[in-house]
Amino acid sequence: MGLLKLFWSLNWGARLGYVIVIFFAICALFAPWIAPYGQSQIVGDVWEPLFGEFVFGTDQIGRDMLSMLIYGARNMIGLALLTTGCAFGLGALLGFLAATMRGWVDQVLSRFVDMIISIPTLIFALIVLSATGTAIPWLITVIAITYAMPVFRIARAVAMDIEVMDYVEAARLRGEGLWWIMREEILPNAMTPLAAEFGLRFCFVFLLISGLSFLGLGLQPPLADWGAMVRGNADGIAWGYLHPLVPAACIALLTIGINLVVDTAVQKASGLRDDQ
């Protein structure tokens, strides 16, 4: 009941955001039970109409679009969560390290990050993927490294402020080790700003992954993914089929939903009012 009360206390934008996010989360979690068909099962003719026998029609080789969308939610959200998680783990660890150790460690890490950050993310991903091929572990590694860079900057800035606090000084004098200070003193106090950042970065990661899979460099069949669905159905547009717009709309809807949620979360956390 408490949760429901909290929900009604939000403005309509945030409510909409939560509804969208929860809807896609349910699709992702329970995909095999919700989806009427398998993600690579051919069930009908090519490009059966939308809202006919199949809710979202069938794709360019006759697979059920609805099932692909549901499985796609599972595959893409799973991949994006894992990647964003890795990016945050790496970025936060290095950022805290730079802030607590200072000196040359900070210098080396910061300059390295400056360099990687000055390469556009899509181009960086394309360079590395062209060298390594598009296996999923490489996909995760590349994107996690690219997005660990901005996380590093934020984590470092936040940790710098925490690191000068008296309780950290006290821990140092007690003789606690570097790892202990990072884990027990800095991490708990850096959690709030990092959590807000997580939602935002998740959107970027999600968009980059869909961009890459749209280009054919993301998840490979038989795994369904929304970006590849757009590309696969794209030829239909010329014949007046609107099928490619459906998965593209899903990508858009999910990222807008997350943005709405993050917006309110940030406003709540910082106590900012809308500008008058």
Partner 1 sequence: MLLKRLVLGILTLVAISLLITLGVEALSGDVCTAMMGQMASAAKVAACHSQLNLNLPMHERYLTWLWNFMQGDLGNALTNHRSIASLIGNRIGNTFFLAGLAALVAVPLALTLGVIAALYRNSFFDRAISIVTLSGISVPDFFIAYILMAIFAVWLGVLPAISNLDQSMDLWDRIYISALPVLTLTVAVSAHMMRMTRAAIVSLLASPYIEMAKLKGIRPSRIIIKHALPNALSPIIQVVMLNLAWLVVGVVIVEVVFVYPGLGALMIDAVFLRDMPVVQATAMVFASVYVILNLLADILSMLSNPRLRHRN
Chain residues in the site for partner 1 (CB under 8 A): 114-115, 118-120, 122-123, 126-132, 203, 207, 210-211, 214-217, 227, 230-231, 234, 237-238, 240, 242, 244-245, 248-249, 251-252, 255-256, 258-260, 274-276
| CB closer to partner 1 out of 58 and 210 | 210
| CB closer to partner 1 out of 12 and 33 | 12
What is the 3 state secondary structure string of the chain? Answer: CHHHHHHHCCCHHHHHHHHHHHHHHHHHHCHHHHCCCCCCCECCCCCCCCCCCCCCCECCCCEEHHHHHHHHHHHHHHHHHHHHHHHHHHHHHHHHHHHHHCHHHHHHHHHHHHHHHCCCHHHHHHHHHHHHCCCHHHHHHHHHHHHHHHHHHHHHHHHHHHHCCHHHHHHHHHCCCHHHHHHHHHHHHHHHHHHHHHHHHHHHHHHHHHHHHHCCCCCCCCCCCHHHHHHHHHHHHHHCCCCCHHHHHHHHHHHHHHHHHHHHHHHHHHCCCCCC
| CB closer to partner 1 out of 166 and 274 | 274
| CB closer to partner 1 out of 42 and 242 | 242
* Least distance CB 10 / partner 1 (angstroms): 17
* Least distance CB 157 / partner 1 (angstroms): 19
* Least distance CB 179 / partner 1 (angstroms): 30
* Least distance CB 211 / partner 1 (angstroms): 6
* Least distance CB 154 / partner 1 (angstroms): 18
* Least distance CB 114 / partner 1 (angstroms): 7
Here the tokens at position 173 are 């004098």
Q: Please, how many CA atoms are within 13 Å of residue 108, restricted to the half-sphere of its CB?
A: 6
| CB closer to partner 1 out of 112 and 167 | 112
| CB closer to partner 1 out of 79 and 182 | 79
